[in-house]
Structure 1
Amino acid sequence: MTEHIPTPEEVLLVGEIVAAFGIRGQLKVRSLTDNVAHLRRKIKTVYVGPKLKPYQIKEVFEHKPGLLVFTFEGIATRTDAEGLRGSEVFILESQAVPLAKDEYFIHDLYGMQVLLEGGELLGTVREVLQTGANDVLVVQREQQPEALIPIIHEVIVEMDPAQKRMVIRLIPGLLGD
């Protein structure tokens, strides 16, 4: 029985393979998830690289904060592991930890329409910057410079990833006008 290869729309990026670890095919992965325990307990298969090749997880542990070590079925040598260096690691989005009310997946924000409280279209989310304090939306506007919109409660009035739209409240100086 061959395993189903998911489409890019069905997966969620959880890390990037940065190096081999040891001589037995283990992989050092820069983690993009806060839910390492969920990954360790609930996820049996990850999908690697642009072709989303499935790998069964034999073991995963946190080596250092933000750095995981994976052991995959079929990857038994350092040379095998080095061949995957630079590849992204995905899980099925349907297997991710359910989001809380005010949480979102960053990829859901791309292409989202940004409206002002009065209903006027400000623009479309082109990029999301992760600054550490809070995420910042880069909004492409018609015939105007891009706008940087912080994702904070004082600015975001409503966010509906399913409808690909959000409503924001302008605060003084936000658009530099």
Structure 2
Amino acid sequence: MKDSPVVIGEITGVYGVKGWVKVFSHTEPRINIVKYNPWFLKQGNEWKSVKLINGRSQGKTIVAQIDGVNDRNDAHAMIGTQIAIESSQLQKLGAKDFYWRDLEGLEVVDLNGDVLGRISHLIETGANDVMVVKLPAEKAQGQKIKELMIPYLMDSVIKSVDLDANQMTVDWDDDYI
């Protein structure tokens, strides 16, 4: 791979006898995983490029046909394999839009420049996404709360995101600690 892999799913089972696989997708909507081609499959410590021949929804799951996987035994051997793409395959976003993977790990500071912590991960809640911010060790020591839940609301809560500086500025108070 030319750049770091973006994991978008995993092979979770077999479908039928002709080598089709069941896929758990991290894309939104889930069916979008079949729009990417090629896929990269992790085999050992290596990523191998494979051509996706076909893919579709099948009930509540996604099934896919991968070039060179022609029978149930070949498909069964792939269970647990991660599916990735190159970051260059991702859709380009607007100036204030970000992929979660780009936000994870950012240092979060308030309007005064005080460090609140680092973004551990994000949670989809339905109303809006929520950032889980792990407190720095010195703030977490002796506290019941070890992380902050900050709504991902651009402009009202999130004032700026600087990926080059690895930092996000938020209008948030650490009084909740």
Change (3 A) 1:88 1:131: farther
Match of 1:53 in 2: 48
CA contact (8 A) 2:10 2:24 kept: yes
Give TM-score scaled by structure 1 length: 0.80
Q: Is 1:81 matched with 2:82? A: no
CA contact (8 A) 1:148 1:175 kept: no
Unpaired segments of 5 or more residues in structure 2? 141-145
SS at match of 1:101: coil
Match of 2:37 in 1: 44
Match of 1:160 in 2: 162
CA contact (8 A) 1:113 1:164 kept: yes
Deviation at 1:89, TM superposition (A): 0.7
**Per-residue deviation, residues 110-133 of structure 1 (Å, max 9, x unmatched):** 221101112222111223233343
Q: Is 1:127 matched with 2:128? A: no
Unpaired segments of 5 or more residues in structure 1? 1-5
Q: Is 1:176 matched with 2:176? A: yes
Number of equivalent positions: 166
SS at match of 1:163: coil
SS at match of 1:136: strand
Identity of paired residues, percent?
Answer: 25
Moved over 4 A (4+): 35-39
Deviation at 1:75, TM superposition (A): 0.7
Deviation at 1:91, TM superposition (A): 1.0
Give TM-score scaled by structure 2 length: 0.80
Match of 1:148 in 2: 149
**C-alpha distance in structure 2 between counterparts of 1:58 and 1:48, whole Å:** 15
Change (3 A) 1:133 1:84: farther
Change (3 A) 1:22 1:97: same
Deviation at 1:53, TM superposition (A): 2.0
Q: Which of 47, 53, 64 does residue 70 from structure 1 map onto?
A: 64
